[in-house]
Structure 1
Amino acid sequence: MSDEATFFLPVKDYCRRQLMTCHVNDTVMVAAEIMRDKSVSSLIACDDNKQPIGIMTDRDLRNKVVAGGVDPLLARVSSVMTTPVISVNEDDTLFEVLYQMSRNRIHRVGVVDTDKALVGLINESDIIRLQDRSPQRLLQAVDEAESIADLKKIYHDSEQLVIFLHRNGVRTNDLIQMIALINDQITAQLTGLLKQGRFKNMGQKSAFMVLGSEGRREQTLKTDQDNAMIIADDAGGDELADIEAFSHVLIDALIEIGVPECPGGIMARNKFWRRRLVDWKSAINHWVGTPNGQNILNFSMFSDMRTLCGDPNLEDQLKDYIIKVAEENSIFLARMAQNVCRFSPPLGMFGQIKVESSGVHLGSLDLKKAGIFALTEGVKVLALSAGMLGGSTHERMTFLQQQNILSKEQVLDIEASFNLLTFLRLRGQVNAVAAGQDITNYISPGSLDRVEKGRLKLALEVVKSFQGSLNHHFQLNMLKN
């Protein structure tokens, strides 16, 4: 989006909703202390009914109190505040904000809703920051980060950037790629900072890998850590100790930055997910030889491996081994496909979308369980059966079409369904962040318009059809339960 277009964005998406207030009869000293403690440059002055009467700013403190020789212990806020509060409507554009600031020679304006109630505040610096919102500037900030605290701020800013760009029409696929790139860069910069200290030689005998959706570069706003480490077989005792220590420091630093730890413990600091190359090969053999639910999950997670730092040759060797084992164990791949088909799309007998009937997500739909999982995992096992390991879901689908395993029409349908489900998932997460709610994979179908609801039903029907193709391809009816 151009800088010029920024001025025509709606105020409601960018104003500050948390209003800092004081009473009109508070002393100036009390109000100034509130401003200091809250690190704000203005306060909304309210009456006994909590209605906004005026605004007191740091400019008022300078011009009317300090320069005017007024005693802040005696003077009341009502005597120095600016009244009334100049306001714009929520649906007005930022251009209207700038117009009111210029016309009234002020640096901030209030934001009111349809009932004319004050709901927010926006100032000049807020608009200036909007013009700084670009992926290029954020990536530059990552490269210039000198501490974990710097990276923590950037990680938070990246979330706000995604929200900003999503609301301004940037395609979901482009946003997903941007999220992956920024997260990769943050992790790379973090490891670089850690290597400036005691871990100078880290990566010579190991590889730190991301797994799952991060490995596929398909993260949205809801993402936790899924990672592992491969250690070279010839790593010695001191090297093993350093690698273990590094894995703990790295994961703890990622948590501090804001990347949640994996609830299932799939993190390199856990010994299960940190092994020598030879031990990973043994684990692969065990998973394939005993295809229960947990082993299938572990194998599938590992099949999305992607090295972020360290020796990529270790990943290449393990990938070659996984492909070889998979080629020799078609029954295991069929078990993977069978697991995918257990997640039936939530469609009723007459095509209605089935939602949660109780609990905290009453009336909602888990998009990951409803279709995203089946599409990503189904495409993965098909690609692996044809000798492809790694890559995104879109890259795998292109490969499957080239191998004549999926037709062009099937690929187009699956891509359209995957894109829609991912779009709805990301939009729901953006709205949750804006509302101060927890980020989940749930949406409420009842909030969709008629066209979107129809597209969602069609997408779920495509998922069901794709599961039928998996059933036929791997001859799942021949498997013994």
Structure 2
Amino acid sequence: MEFNSFNDDKDILEHVSGLYIFTGIPSERIALVLSKSETVHAQEGEIIFRKGESYHKGVYLVTSGLVELINESGVCTESKDGDFVGLSNFVGKSTYHVSAVTSKETELIFLPELCIYKLMEDYEEFRGRFYGLVTERINILAGREGATIESSTYKAVASYMTSPVITADKGSSVVEASRLMSSHGIGALAVVDSEGLLSGVLTSKNIVQKFLSELEQNIDRQQIELYMDTDPIVLPSEFPLVEALSEMQFKGREYAVVAKKDRPVGIISNNDIMRILFKNINVYNTHIDGIATMEELKKSFDNIYLIAESLVSNTRLTYEILPVITSVHLNIQKRVYRLTAEKYLEETGFDITKVRHTLIIMGSGGRREMMLDPDQDNGFIFGDDVTNEEIDKFMEFGERFVENLDYVGYFKCPGNVMVTNPDMSLRLSEWKHQVKKWVDDSLGKSILWSNIVFDFDGLAGDEKLVWELREYINRKISEKPIFLIYMLENDQNIKRPINLFGRFLTEKSGKHKGEMNLKVAALSFIVDVTRAFTLYKELNDLNTVERLKHLKRKKILSEETMQATLNAYETLVDIVLNEQIDQAKTDRSISKYVNPDSLSLFNQEKLRSSLNHVSKYLNTGLRYFKGHP
């Protein structure tokens, strides 16, 4: 497939101008759009984009040939001369959920999305027709009628900009501009000429760094045009928030001006967008994919509590929030992985993506149950053909990866379940041997590690390695279920956090005096017992809630037991997550320790009931596996 700059081909211009979608748009404007576009020549069988691939930030217009859109069921639609490819992703900005493959030699034009937005802003009929095509495509791919073009991931910048924008004439003085900013409580002004057209942007940072830094020589040169940013980021009103933030970060700007026909109609800051994006998970995850530095990823990690706080206030069941929070955590970790890999390739010439492997996430990450204080639980599975030299490279890479995760906010696993541990970075056959040893030994570290490792999922790389290892684990445990008894008996030895009289038992000394660790004292028991049932029945669910519901459908657990366990789990998650949000808001160390005396009486009673059920549930599991249901 060949991409080339548009070379002023009059036949193509005439062809595109004649398409219905561009009716009413002057040929000069279409020529301008094409000048910012690329022509694409693809042979038969070439892939325009793959399912799961990152959005290309634009759409493809077929000018000849044929492109098939393919999902798991096969070809779902075709795009021919005059049709667009990649329409459904224009709204959501998500990764592609189908693959686009040419079925004959094909010519396309790649139109950047910014060009599309500007056409929609200036030509209302084009906007209606284009969104009509998007709606039609979404309906086809979703296999249903009545879909709308609205998407939780589409947020136009015009909906959130500050408007009307405060402006200053470019001949005004810096002092006048400073007073204007102060009186309105803002950090930037749109600078305009005598006709009201945008000339630049003046920020408080410009004043400090360019004017005040050399005040003595600048005192007689106060015109703001000398200190403003003459090449500001200017966006059409249709431009999506997540892309606006990417533009600002890429160009190192704190503000963007929204303009119509070169006249400023609004302004928005980096911080404004961040506050908005934290309230929309899908958009925010897309934002994470575009982050280019560990520093920005650390900021994202530090502000996850804002997402959690918003979700808690708008969700009936708190445990439903955990997969959403986890999705943010995993996207951050995945981005750390990619940035580390890119840097490692640049410095060593070793491309880890060329070696068959998968990065696995374990424990709460694998179960999609991360809260606000996850540590690192990860490892590598390598193909059996991977050489020792390649594994040595991965171990070196792993050191950097672990340090970067730690910097961003994911502290190192106290139990050393990390890629830097040779026992956690093995070939597939070696992993199988390791699992066999754990199950056969059923002692000490084998139990502790298996409690974490057996809840694993792929984060990056070859998913087939994950499936094969999971299948082996299920088969091995079904052959020796006594391992599950040892696993639960290990839990039984942990001291209960409540006595026979319903009194909470808390830490007697140390920094957590008067508190109890609800992960160790309760949540882990629900997770462990539910995992034991799931492994025994060779089910592949990972999330505790989904596991419980599946076990009920399989009639392994009664409706009463399942519902009581869900209620207990909800109470524990709700108490812990709300405590963590408060810890984050008050700059305290985030943990799963809770002071039961600080809870309302209602929550204290719910906690007592939950802790009592946890003990019963553990006993239920032990009786089941010992043959005494």
Instruction: Look up the match of 2:523.
Output: 372
Alignment of 1:12-411 (within 5 A): 130-133=275-278, 134-166=280-312, 171-196=317-342, 197=345, 198-202=349-353, 204-411=355-562
SS class of match (2:353):
coil
How many angstroms does 1:159 deviate by? 3.4
What is the rounded CA distance, in whole Å, between the counterparts of 1:125 and 1:243 in structure 2?
A: 36
How many angstroms does 1:476 deviate by? 8.2
Q: Which moved more, 1:196-205 or 1:222-231?
A: 196-205
What is the rounded CA distance, in whole Å, between the counterparts of 1:227 and 1:192 in structure 2?
A: 15
What is the rounded CA distance, in whole Å, between the counterparts of 2:586 and 2:402 in structure 1?
A: 29
TM-score, normalised with respect to structure 1:
0.70
How many angstroms does 1:255 deviate by? 1.6
CA contact (8 A) 2:518 2:576 kept: yes
Q: 1:132 to 1:401 in 2, by over 3 A?
A: closer
| Partner amino acid, structure 2, of 1:136 | N
| Partner amino acid, structure 2, of 1:299 | S
How many angstroms does 1:333 deviate by? 1.6
How many angstroms does 1:139 deviate by? 1.4
1:440 to 580, 585, 591: 591
What is the rounded CA distance, in whole Å, between the counterparts of 1:126 and 1:243 in structure 2?
A: 37
Show structure 2 runs of 5+ residues with no match: 1-151, 153-185, 188-203, 217-268
| Partner amino acid, structure 2, of 1:455 | K
| Partner amino acid, structure 2, of 1:361 | H
* Bigger Rg, structure 1 or 2: 2
How many angstroms does 1:128 deviate by? 7.2
Q: Describe the superposition over 1:1-24 as per-residue Cα deviations: whole angstroms up to 9, x where unpaired.
A: 9xxxxxxxxxxxxxxxxxxxxxxx
Corresponding pairs, count:
372
SS class of match (1:349):
coil
Q: 1:145 to 1:424 in 2, by over 3 A?
A: same
Q: 1:128 to 1:388 in 2, by over 3 A?
A: closer
CA contact (8 A) 1:206 1:243 kept: no
Instruction: Look up the match of 2:231.
Output: none
Identity %: 25
Show structure 1 runs of 5+ residues with no match: 2-39, 42-57, 71-123
CA contact (8 A) 2:358 2:460 kept: yes
CA contact (8 A) 1:222 1:440 kept: yes
CA contact (8 A) 1:216 1:304 kept: yes
What is the rounded CA distance, in whole Å, between the counterparts of 2:437 and 2:368 in structure 1?
A: 28
| Partner amino acid, structure 2, of 1:161 | I
2:626 to 460, 475, 478: 475
SS class of match (1:221):
coil
| Partner amino acid, structure 1, of 2:454 | S
Q: Describe the superposition over 1:357-376 as per-residue Cα deviations: whole angstroms up to 9, x where unpaired.
A: 33322221211122101100
CA contact (8 A) 1:203 1:310 kept: no
What is the rounded CA distance, in whole Å, between the counterparts of 2:289 and 2:440 in structure 1?
A: 45
Q: Describe the superposition over 1:357-411 as per-residue Cα deviations: whole angstroms up to 9, x where unpaired.
A: 3332222121112210110011101111111245111111122112211001111
Q: 1:357 to 1:255 in 2, by over 3 A?
A: closer
What is the rounded CA distance, in whole Å, between the counterparts of 1:237 and 1:131 in structure 2?
A: 47
What is the rounded CA distance, in whole Å, between the counterparts of 2:495 and 2:553 in structure 1?
A: 28
SS class of match (1:208):
strand
How many angstroms does 1:468 deviate by? 2.0
What is the rounded CA distance, in whole Å, between the counterparts of 1:132 and 1:147 in structure 2?
A: 18
Q: 1:357 to 1:248 in 2, by over 3 A?
A: closer
Q: 1:450 to 1:438 in 2, by over 3 A?
A: same
What is the rounded CA distance, in whole Å, between the counterparts of 1:476 and 1:428 in structure 2?
A: 40
What is the rounded CA distance, in whole Å, between the counterparts of 2:309 and 2:473 in structure 1?
A: 38
CA contact (8 A) 2:518 2:572 kept: yes
What is the rounded CA distance, in whole Å, between the counterparts of 1:203 and 1:434 in structure 2?
A: 43
CA contact (8 A) 1:343 1:374 kept: no
How many angstroms does 1:332 deviate by? 1.3
CA contact (8 A) 2:580 2:591 kept: yes
CA contact (8 A) 1:367 1:441 kept: yes
CA contact (8 A) 2:341 2:397 kept: no
CA contact (8 A) 2:362 2:455 kept: yes
What is the rounded CA distance, in whole Å, between the counterparts of 1:251 and 1:316 in structure 2?
A: 25
Q: 1:268 to 1:128 in 2, by over 3 A?
A: closer
What is the rounded CA distance, in whole Å, between the counterparts of 2:445 and 2:277 in structure 1?
A: 45
How many angstroms does 1:145 deviate by? 1.3
CA contact (8 A) 1:368 1:441 kept: yes
How many angstroms does 1:237 deviate by? 3.8
Q: Describe the superposition over 1:146-177 as per-residue Cα deviations: whole angstroms up to 9, x where unpaired.
A: 23233222222333332344356674234311
| Partner amino acid, structure 2, of 1:159 | Y
SS class of match (1:202):
helix
TM-score, normalised with respect to structure 2:
0.54
How many angstroms does 1:308 deviate by? 0.5
Q: 1:363 to 1:307 in 2, by over 3 A?
A: same
How many angstroms does 1:425 deviate by? 0.7
What is the rounded CA distance, in whole Å, between the counterparts of 2:613 and 2:479 in structure 1?
A: 30
CA contact (8 A) 2:373 2:410 kept: no
Structure with greater strand share of residues: 2
How many angstroms does 1:195 deviate by? 4.0
Q: 1:187 to 1:170 in 2, by over 3 A?
A: farther
Q: 1:426 to 1:263 in 2, by over 3 A?
A: same
Instruction: Look up the match of 1:93.
Output: none
Q: 1:160 to 1:312 in 2, by over 3 A?
A: same
How many angstroms does 1:274 deviate by? 0.8
What is the rounded CA distance, in whole Å, between the counterparts of 1:364 and 1:417 in structure 2?
A: 19
How many angstroms does 1:309 deviate by? 0.7
